[in-house]
Amino acid sequence: MTDPTETPDEATPQDSGNLDGPAVRELADIPAVEVITRAALMLMSAAAEKIGLSAEDPDDSPHRDLDEARRIITALAGLVTASAEYLGPHAGPVRDGLKSLQLAFREASAHPDEPGKGPGEKYTGPVW
């Protein structure tokens, strides 16, 4: 239980009901480009795991789930496309990472999608 004499400045991040705690203020101080980039990196990492890229043999990865990877890559493509103008110098590397995941997905698929029909390609256009 929280001490009733505690001020918002003394609240801890564990105080999930206290929206004025330090964790919220720290997040508020992070520039939008960093929030977007962090979100993109998390999606990239999750997609890579779902494709099986972290395993020595992706075909044998216990985490491989191409249906899940498709969803994540599509969400990433939407984020990257919608925020490209705000990413500045980060836009190129983020787009390159997305394209690499799209190509890895196509390579991992038993029946690859036609160019333009793969995950996220409705946002990015065909990936070759």
| The dihedral sign for the CA sequence 51, 53, 55, 56 | positive
- The pLDDT, as a whole number, for residue 13 is 47
Whole-prediction pTM:
0.79
User: Mean pLDDT over all residues of the chain?
Assistant: 87
Q: What digits encode the pLDDT tens for the residues 35-94?
A: 999 999 999 999 999 999 999 998 899 999 999 999 999 999 999 999 999 999 999 999
The domain ranges of the chain are 31-124
Q: What is the average per-residue pLDDT within 21-40?
A: 85
Please give the Cα distance from 85 to 95 (Å, whole number): 12
